[in-house]
A and B are shown apart, each in its own frame.
Chain A
Amino acid sequence: MRFAFSEEQEMLRDMIHAALQREVGLDKVRRWVDGEDLSPFDAFLVRNAWLGIGVAEDAGGQGGGLIEQALMFEALGRSAAPSGVLLASVGTLGFASRVPGAAEQLRGLLEGDATGALCVSAGLPADQGVSQVQINGERLSGVVPMVLEAPGASHLLVPIPADEGLELWLLQADAPGVEIQPRRLIDRTRRFGDVHLQDAQARYLGRLPRDAAREVNAIMALLIAAESLGAARRMLDMTVEYVGQRVQFGVPVGSFQAVKHAAAEILVDLEAAHSGIYYAAWALSEGQADGVPQAWIAKAFTTEAAVRTADRALMLHGAIGYTWEHDLQLFYKRAKLNQELLGSPRTYRERLAESLELH
């Protein structure tokens, strides 16, 4: 039994950190928040081949596994870097690679020739698929609200529930009958849009079994948790630094017990989250029976812990933390959105209750 990262994993983590610090300062993030085009960051991801981290080499990826991916998402959260394209790619490639022959159709994703979005509502577990899309021959119709990274995607992968699994359909985003209306969420570093389909020509890729869909969804849930952990760690660091400098009543406010206790409680949350995330990453990649439920637990616990962290950090910063100018908002909003992304903590706790055979 060993709970530790390998030397290679630590090197990868440090490398990703360094690259993000070079390329994605918070001033850059602010420009994206103010509306600047995100696509240079997409190009940066492709240039560094980060879309291929955790994807097998024979499938055109960089190798490594879920632990490496989780480390990458934690680093992205720590930098408030846009992570939607990566998450969407994990979802689309994850679904497609579990259907024989389907991954070939999406290979361009890794080289940057294509960008894929998983055409499901971002607030629900992806393994539920979309039941509101009708199939007529090879044409799809219906509306899917709030799809992650639909604006800017070249391809949409539509999973439609069918006998204990999901039928996968591939659409070109510029095909006739496809319309994408952007939606702005409070965290503007990720893109969302409503997808309207009206007799849009699609290609059937095959059927994804229910368990495979659950596994991919669990992987996505876990990566969101890792990202929330990174954002929360950054907020804790910012807070400890601030309260060490801010003087009131003649002393740094960080010397007050109420302030110390709030910071300590954050750390208790985050260490538990770290344990849960990297255990689940291991268990999922080794096909352990508890991998999927442990990913649900990691998602529910960590995204809530990050939200608690965000609000404690805000209180400890006082009014300055409530301003547009202060960087706390970048991490605060990420934490809040991640709690709802891919399904709320309530959703995953209900799944867990079901698996615990409460009756």
Chain B
Amino acid sequence: MDFRDAPEDATFRERVRAWLEREVPALGQAPDRLEERVEWWRPWQRRLHDAGYAGLAWPREYGGRGASVLQQAIFYEECDRAGAPDRLDVISAGFAGPTLIEHGSNAQKNRFLDRILTGEDLWCQLFSEPGAGSDLASLTTRAVRDGDGWRIHGQKVWTSAAQVAEYAILLARTGEGERHRGISFFILPMRQSGVEVRPLRQMLGGAEFNEVFLDGAYVPDELLVGPLGGGWKVAMSTLGYERAAIATGRVNTLRLLDELIALVNNTKGTDGRALGQDAFIRQKVAELYGRMTLQRITGKRILSTLAEGGAPGPEASTAKLFITPLVEEICDFALSLIGIEGQEEPGDADPARARWLRLAYQARGTSIAGGTTFIQRNILAERVLGMKRD
């Protein structure tokens, strides 16, 4: 056990910190609308890339820096600390890229990976369908043979960032067998006729995810990933990267607790007494703080296993189930302290309050995305505890 940075990692951290302290303050506020935010973010991603911070843990031959996953984690920690822009390339660089590194052909790697790292191409994920959510293997989107390629027919749904994506990772049925056996994994160019993206408003009013209608969209043979009919295994890798990304901290819970403590210390109860003197509130903040530290330590534990090249242990499967209710509870507790003003429309509300509300809603989304909490519990029981399938 040793939770300190190794000397070379400590040097790396110092360098990153100094660089971010120079670069981040000049960026200003990110635009709210996703389309504008992407254009605002691209030059930033380009600067990250030119400074050598994009694809840190990817192999050098694919445009990465060949650094350890620990250094990559240090980089994200420092980004959090410096208040750097939220990553918009989580799907492309976080899930799609690693999937291509693991399963893609050399031609695919050469064509796509570098453009993912520079931020030129954003990607989306076309997995879920109206009839295939938790039971993903029941998907019905078809890929029909057409010359040296495939025509795609079907409908996808809950697709984040489809409106700004150049490419998608796509699951479609190629007919080799039933359920898991008849599915292939494709790269789909999004900017073509036959792909129609319709925004779906989420319950908070924003439209960051979409329905995607596929009506004869074309995929050439060279964009099949892995063997024909072998897409399920590839997709499982992608979902593993998704869960790992959620578990190792797309939400900076440490900062949330700092903000919660500031909120408590700056708020008076209806009786005029300081909230920070209230025994119930002290207990609750301490409980949430404790769970936050356990979540962050578990993140380090997962990274440590990955860094040593080991297979992820049970902690990697439990981590998403630990963090999602935690974030929900932190936000809900903050909103309960704010009271009715916390329920104001986020567009009208004071930005600090609106942030709690948005995050509270987003947290619900996270508990559903990449396998709902209930599906994760099934997976944990069956694969980690070895309980029987029903």
- Asked if A and B bind, the verdict is yes
Residues of A whose CB lies within 8 Å of any CB of B are 1-5, 67, 236, 240, 243-244, 251-252, 254-257, 259-261, 263-265, 267-268, 271-276, 278-279, 281-283, 290, 294, 296-297, 300-301, 346, 349-350, 352-353, 356-359
The answer to whether residues A281 and B1 also contact, given A268-B321, A353-B282 and a CB cut-off of 8 A, is yes
Instruction: Give the docked Cα–Cα distance between A8 and B30 (Å).
Output: 51
Query: Quick one: which of B301, B303, B314 contacts A267, CB cutoff 8 A?
Result: B314
Query: Quick one: which of B261, B295, B304, B389 contacts A358, CB cutoff 8 A?
Result: B261
Interface pair A254/B277, CB less than 8 Å apart: no
Q: Does B345 contact A (CB under 8 A)?
A: no
Q: Which of B178-186, B220-228, B372-380 is found at the contact surface with chain A? A: B372-380
Interface pair B318/A350, CB less than 8 Å apart: no
A contact residues around B388 at 8 Å (CB): 244, 251-252, 254-255
Q: Does B300 contact A (CB under 8 A)?
A: yes
Q: Does B322 contact A (CB under 8 A)?
A: yes
Query: Quick one: which of A254, A268, A350, A359 contacts B322, CB cutoff 8 A?
Result: A268
Interface pair B318/A279, CB less than 8 Å apart: no
We find that the number of chain B residues with CB closer than 8 angstroms to chain A is 56
The answer to whether residues A2 and B283 also contact, given A271-B315, A272-B295, A349-B290 and a CB cut-off of 8 A, is no
A296 to nearest B CB, angstroms?
8
B contact residues around A357 at 8 Å (CB): 261, 265
Interface pair B290/A297, CB less than 8 Å apart: yes
Fill in one digit per residue for B62-105: 1 if any A CB lies within 8 Å of its CB, else 0. Answer: 00000000100000000000000000000000000000000000
Interface pair B304/A2, CB less than 8 Å apart: yes
Q: Secondary structure at chain A's binding surface: helix, strand, loop or mixed?
A: helix
A347 to nearest B CB, angstroms?
10
Interface pair B2/A2, CB less than 8 Å apart: yes
15 interchain pairs (CB within 8 A)? A4-B305, A5-B1, A257-B374, A260-B385, A264-B321, A264-B378, A297-B289, A300-B287, A301-B294, A349-B286, A350-B286, A353-B286, A356-B285, A357-B261, A357-B265
Interface pair B286/A3, CB less than 8 Å apart: no
A175 to nearest B CB, angstroms?
42
Instruction: Give the docked Cα–Cα distance between A260 and B286 (Å).
Output: 30
Q: Does B274 contact A (CB under 8 A)?
A: yes
Interface pair B290/A301, CB less than 8 Å apart: yes
Q: Which of B3-11, B125-133, B143-151, B327-335 is found at the contact surface with chain A? A: B3-11
Instruction: Give the docked Cα–Cα distance between A352 and B291 (Å).
Output: 12
A contact residues around B315 at 8 Å (CB): 271, 274-275
A240 to nearest B CB, angstroms?
5
